[in-house]
Amino acid sequence: MLLTLLPLAACEAPTQSLGDASRATAWRVAVERAEADVFGERLYLSGTLTAERQARLSTRADGLVAQVHVDAGDHVEAGQVLLELDPAIAHQALLRARAQATEAAAVVRETQRLVVEAQRLVDRRAIATTELAARTAAFDLARAAEESARASAREQEEIVARHELPAPFSGVLAEKLTEAGEWVQRGTPVLSLVAIDRVRLDLRVPQERFEQIDVDAQVRVFADALNGESLPARIGARVPVTDPGARTFLLRLLVDDPQERLLPGTSARAEISLSHTRQDTVSIGRDAILRQPDGNYSLYVVEGDGGQSVARRRFVRLLHEQDGRAVVTGEGVEEGEWVVIRGNEALTDGQPVDVVEP
């Protein structure tokens, strides 16, 4: 049954009171009451996912590339050998250094024997004490030469070891920048490695939001790869330096992605629950909200006007919507007012309406 309207009291449902002529021009609508709602404001921002760790790897020595064990897209573990240089020359230098260390050790043994012999002869007064002192000095010099030779051998061992390039952390090879047969030098990138077990989301946040976002804020991250799901995140860094051109600051989120579904370089959206709440909000059905061409939002409320029920347009700020409900600021609509939820698409401001029972 359709009901016409008398002027609406603040908290009373519309009542019937229209003549037949008015009925012919009134637009049929359905309404519901606006309900009070306390809203913890949420901030929605988009940004770019980046890997928490990524590196352009270079060899630890100059040399000729002998083997590249990986290719772009390969998963590698920390410590896995990715590339080898030809170690032939370095290996020969290592053999020479080891031989010199062996020679120095032999000299130490011989000079030590001479010192022991000289000590016995001095005790028998067969030689002068100056001879013992000379042999002792020669022994000390021999020991120093041995230490130097052994250090040179250890250094050369490290040089040989550096002809292999291990993975500094687990991840995926993003780029392969060299091939076997190329001569490379230290500092020249040969591989690009990206860790995908931990990703971060960099956001540019309006500067006026800086004080509202604290380290304990609840954060959820949404991305195309998640198929509508979300992942928890936490604030890793809040850089208090604004971009003077955009008036924004950097907010870096650390995303927990154990299944490695998020891909570095892709875009994602973050939902941040701000630390303050609003008391001037009301909850209404989502169908009541109309999006304007300029991007703003409006709705219609039913008011009484000289014995006629009419629709009045109110502009609102949409804060949040979920499960068919929308939360808007109370500046455009107040608690208890009747809001049009059906038949509002073709309404105009001030148009007479017939209200279906809510």
Residue 6's pLDDT is 37
Give the whole-angstrom CA distance, residue 131 versus residue 128. Answer: 6
Q: Write out the DSSP string of 210-266.
A: GGG--TT--EEEE-GGGTT-EEEEEEEEEEEEEETTTTEEEEEEEEE-TT----TTS
Confidence of residue 357 (pLDDT cuts 50, 70, 90): low
| Interval 250-301: pLDDT, tens | 889 988 887 878 888 888 999 887 755 566 778 888 899 998 888 888 999 9
Question: Can you give the CATH number for the domain in which 91 is found?
Answer: 1.10.287
In a domain, 270, yes or no: no
**CA dist 106 to 77, 155, 180, Å?**
44, 21, 42
Task: Produce one character per residue of 120-142: b if its CB has 16 or more CB atoms within 10 Å, e if not.
Answer: eebeeeeeeeeebeebbebbeeb
Residue 276's pLDDT is 53
| Interval 98-111: pLDDT, tens | 999 999 999 999 99
Residue 104's pLDDT is 96
The number of folded domains in the chain is 2
Question: Can you give the CATH number for the domain in which 28 is found?
Answer: 2.40.420.20
Residue 1's pLDDT is 33
Residue that is last in its domain, among 137, 162, 187: 162
Confidence of residue 214 (pLDDT cuts 50, 70, 90): confident
- Helix (H), strand (E) at residue 315: strand 308-316
Other beta carbons within 10 angstroms of residue 13's beta carbon come to 14
Task: For helices 129-161 and 88-123, give the axis angle rounded to 10 degrees.
Answer: 160
| Interval 5-14: pLDDT, tens | 433 433 344 4
Give the residue-averaged pLDDT of 295-322: 85
Strands 308-316 and 63-68: unpaired
Give the whole-angstrom CA distance, residue 30 versus residue 340. Answer: 6
Write out the residue range of the structural domain in which residue 91 sits: 87-162
Residue 294's pLDDT is 86
Residue that is last in its domain, among 116, 141, 162: 162
**Amino acid at site 350:** G
Q: For 226-230, 273-277, 307-311, which range has the lowest pLDDT when averaged over its residues?
A: 273-277
| Mean confidence (pLDDT) of the chain | 84
Q: Check pLDDT > 90 for residue 169.
A: yes
In a domain, 346, yes or no: yes
Q: Which two tokens stand for residue 10?
A: 């603040």
- How much of the chain exceeds pLDDT 90, in percent? 42
- How much of the chain exceeds pLDDT 70, in percent? 89
How does DSSP classify residue 71? -
In a domain, 320, yes or no: yes
**Statement to judge: residues 33 and 92 lie in one domain:** no
In a domain, 141, yes or no: yes
Q: Check pLDDT > 50 for residue 17.
A: no
In a domain, 331, yes or no: yes
| Interval 127-160: pLDDT, tens | 889 999 999 999 999 999 999 999 999 999 999 9
Give the whole-angstrom CA distance, residue 247 versus residue 269. Answer: 20
Give the whole-angstrom CA distance, residue 158 versus residue 94. Answer: 9
In a domain, 207, yes or no: no
In a domain, 308, yes or no: yes
**Statement to judge: residues 32 and 101 lie in one domain:** no
Residue that is last in its domain, among 147, 162, 177: 162
Residue 277's pLDDT is 55
Residue 8's pLDDT is 40
Give the whole-angstrom CA distance, residue 238 versus residue 5. Answer: 55
In a domain, 309, yes or no: yes
**Statement to judge: residues 24 and 94 lie in one domain:** no
How does DSSP classify residue 349? T
